[in-house]
Copies of this chain bind each other. A is one copy, B any other.
Amino acid sequence: MKKRIAILPGDGIGPEVCEAATRVLKEIEALYQHEFELIYGDIGGISIDKNGTPLPQETLSACRQSDAVLLGAVGGPKWDQLPGDQRPEKGLLGLRKELQLFANLRPVTIYDALADSSPLKDEIIQGVELLIVRELTGGLYFGEPRERKIVDGEEIAIDTLQYSRFEIERIVRKAFQLAGERRGHLTSVDKANVLESSRLWREVVEEVAKDFPNVDYSHMLVDNAAMQLVRNPRQFDVIVTENMFGDILSDEASMITGSLGMLPSSSLSEDGPGLFEPIHGSAPDIAGKGLANPLATLSSVAMMLAYSFDLYDEATSLQDAINEVLNKGYRTADLTNDSNTLSTIQMTDKVIEAL
């Protein structure tokens, strides 16, 4: 199979974990006789420094001409003082919008070998296996007006939470589909007792549900969801929610595992290239030191192989290789207090060996 992959390393530990992904992609290419053409693009802070913008036109074109996009991470203190529209994050948000990546999928799984590092008790996290489906191109992130102005001599700032029926329907439908392929339960999270947009959301869920009689679904208020994720995360199969709630809940959910360095994500559009990235950030404090955990990025590569290329065997053997190195006790510094830890490169070597 011949595929083109755009790799956008970005900031902080982004380049290191993307280097790991490149090596693993080359290995899979060789093992399974595929041809992966890798093209590279700038994004985020490094692109601001180089090109004066966090998302250059060339990067966007490279992504559009690819079958999938792999992203490292964006952002860092160096660019924190820049105005909102010139920040590294704007590169990522722009890419989401331009590629119409409306569906952000964040699986939260407990690796048995790492369960000890969860802040939650063992009996709470045993068997947790949930998927957060976050709407990614609407809501407060993109609504207009978003501005500062003076009204009656008083400075005010405004953001707009806006959703159309169309935007809600496509993400809810996606979530019902995914729930149907899993354990058949969907929890839609909103704040319908306060927000107009949540009431529309709830209505659309009710309508779409009619097309999925085999999926059990329920509504949950976002404040309650934030509690339930800690109280009893096992109750969830698929959670679907709007952009900002999804941002908050998915990060909370990821902490359940105790190992943020392990979790992948994918962002999908209706028919264009998907974007795959680790959910951890750019971790500027450890950047360039060879300490980064590459496994979340490698897990994201596995999602890419499955979701974008339908290469299920390859995806499974990559994910199995990750499980195997963990079961053998190999750890990067973020996963253990032992001093005897592997570097990014050594951990990647182990995964390649296991493949």
- List A residues at the B interface (Cβ < 8 Å): 75, 84, 87, 89, 93, 118-121, 124, 140-141, 143, 146-148, 151, 154-166, 191, 193-197, 199-201, 222-224, 226-227, 229-232, 244-245, 247-252, 254-256, 260
A-B contact pairs, 29 of them (CB 8 A): A84-B199, A87-B193, A119-B230, A120-B121, A120-B230, A146-B195, A148-B196, A148-B200, A154-B164, A155-B164, A156-B164, A157-B162, A157-B197, A157-B199, A157-B200, A158-B160, A158-B197, A159-B160, A159-B161, A159-B162, A159-B195, A159-B197, A223-B247, A226-B249, A226-B255, A227-B255, A230-B252, A230-B255, A245-B248
Closest B residue, CB atoms, query A75: B193
This chain's copy number in the assembly = 2
Q: CA separation between A89 and B159, bound complex, in Å?
A: 24
CB of A248 within 8 A of CB of B223, answer: yes
Q: Which of A148, A157, A195 has the largest number of chain B CB atoms within 10 A?
A: A157
Query: With contacts A148-B200, A157-B162, A158-B196 known, what are 13 further pairs, Cβ within 8 A?
Result: A84-B196, A89-B193, A119-B120, A140-B195, A154-B165, A157-B196, A157-B201, A158-B197, A159-B160, A223-B251, A226-B255, A227-B260, A230-B256
* A270: min CB distance to chain B, Å: 17
CB of A158 within 8 A of CB of B161, answer: yes
Closest B residue, CB atoms, query A118: B121
Residues of B within 8 A of A155 (CB): 164-165, 200
CB of B248 within 8 A of CB of A119, answer: no
Residues of B within 8 A of A118 (CB): 121
* A98: min CB distance to chain B, Å: 17
Residues of B within 8 A of A165 (CB): 154-156
Residues of B within 8 A of A249 (CB): 226
CB of B163 within 8 A of CB of A160, answer: no
Residues of B within 8 A of A141 (CB): 194
Give the contacting residue for A120; candidates B89, B120, B147, B157; CB below 8 A: B120
CB of A161 within 8 A of CB of B160, answer: yes
* A76: min CB distance to chain B, Å: 11
Residues of B within 8 A of A231 (CB): 119, 255
CB of A146 within 8 A of CB of B196, answer: yes
* A41: min CB distance to chain B, Å: 21
Residues of B within 8 A of A255 (CB): 226-227, 230-231
* A58: min CB distance to chain B, Å: 24
CB of A248 within 8 A of CB of B222, answer: yes
Given contacts A140-B195, A191-B244, A223-B251, contact A163 B154 (CB under 8 A): no
Residues of B within 8 A of A223 (CB): 247-248, 250-251
Given contacts A223-B251, A226-B249, contact A140 B157 (CB under 8 A): no
Residues of B within 8 A of A151 (CB): 164
Closest B residue, CB atoms, query A167: B156
